Amino acid sequence: MIVSIKKADIKIEKDVPMKKHTSFKVGGVADYFAKPSTISELIQLIDSIKKNEIPNINKMICKNGIVSENQIPCTIIGGGTNLLVKDNGIRGFVISLGYMKNEIQIYKNSHNDRGNITISKLIEFDQKTDEINCEKIKNGEQVKVSASAGTNLSTLCKKTIKLGLEDLSFAAGIPGTVGGAVMMNAGTGLGTISDYLTSIDILDRDNNIKTIDKSDLIFSHRTLEFKNLDLPDSIDSKLSYKDALPLKPIILRASFLLTRGSREKVELSWRRLIEKRKASQPHGFPSAGCFFKNPEINNLEEKALKQLTVLSGKPKISTNQTTISAGQLIDMAGFKKKRIGDAMVSDKHANFILNLGNAAASEIIILKDIVKEGVFKQFGIMLSEEVIIQGE
């Protein structure tokens, strides 16, 4: 159905298979699925759901016996590349930001005549050729690049590289959206999103847009936490719909500080990383990328570190190393090619679980639990999921 919400017509689909909207290609249905194309549409949609202004939704939810009239849960997803939806699907609304328009803006700081007021000036650039007049941004100058949360991370990276802006090339080959990349602090061994992030714009639980500086964010390996936001610890089933919104705020935009440099340099770095990922990671089967976070060395017990040092083929831990490869631990524990139904641990990169064609989410979950238990028994290290698991 298509619902008219104020000035926007947003299509709300019913009983949508989530396997169509995740890179794993598994998962049951979402009761209702919407994909706003702009930030304005997203805000209008959420406001209309909160105020019960969408026709027939409450009636149909109650008829299915899912939740009571004032408790329609709402799940926000990005591009679905780091998501595993369980076989019974997701209740209530799923709103995807992965279909929002790519919006990239570039700003350069300048000063007034007296030099005591900083002004951020929007720099126009050719969206087709991705060229900037060299008179506008000179080599060595820093600019702020702002992208909407629904912008594909690869699109942002490619555009900044073509513009000669250094250096998001570390993200070569990482799938998903900018918003998802920020929430997961996406990265590689060469860098992470948080290295270049300056601020984010969020939509809070009262539908207000706020800008949060990086200093008020806590980043760690594949994790983002908010310092000074008053967030509930859990959702009380007796509370109103507003309280069934996601616990964390919704990221709308992210801004990065980049430097005008050598286009040839960043393009070369990009190509090399793409080639490396192609050589080291599996292709041809659906997956959600690396399934587990790399364990942080500082969090490991001394017993686990000692166990690693006595094993042949042990991971080499350097003085500046902060994490241990989860894939290497899984490989050493002997789980490459371990299979449950159509779910299998990749024989090319052990931190990838593949859907060989018709895997059920339950098979993937059983397999990941077997891997976690096996790694813990052998090394005393409990792996944590990087992939987000949602639904019933």
pLDDT in tens, 276-320: 888 889 988 999 999 999 887 766 666 566 666 555 455 555 556
Q: What residue numbers bound the domain in which 58 lies?
A: 2-96
pTM of the model: 0.82
Q: Residue 353: which pLDDT band, with cuts at 50, 70 and 90?
A: very high
Among 221, 245, 277, give the residue marking a domain's end. Answer: 277
More confident residue, 241 or 105: 105
Q: Residue 60: which pLDDT band, with cuts at 50, 70 and 90?
A: low
Average pLDDT over residues 127-134: 56
Amino acid at 360: A
Among 258, 277, 296, give the residue marking a domain's end. Answer: 277
Is 88 in the same domain as 125?
Answer: no
Is 288 in the same domain as 193?
Answer: no
Query: For position 172, which CATH number holds?
Result: 3.30.465.10
Q: What is the DSSP string of 125-178?
A: --TTT----TTTS-TT-EEEEEEETTSBHHHHHHHHHHTTEET-GGGTT--SBH
Is 286 in the same domain as 259?
Answer: no
Q: How many domains does the chain have?
A: 3
Is 24 in the same domain as 118?
Answer: no
pLDDT recorded at residue 242: 45
pLDDT in tens, 6-23: 556 788 899 999 999 999
Long-range contacts of 191-200 (CB under 8 A, 24+ apart): 191/167, 192/219, 193/254, 194/219, 194/224, 196/167, 196/168, 196/256, 196/257, 196/258, 197/254, 197/255, 197/256, 198/144, 198/255, 198/256, 198/257, 199/254, 199/255, 200/251, 200/252, 200/253, 200/254, 200/255
Average pLDDT over residues 37-62: 75
Is 164 in the same domain as 254?
Answer: yes
Is 202 in the same domain as 59?
Answer: no
Is 112 in the same domain as 247?
Answer: yes
Among 277, 292, 310, give the residue marking a domain's end. Answer: 277
Is 53 in the same domain as 121?
Answer: no
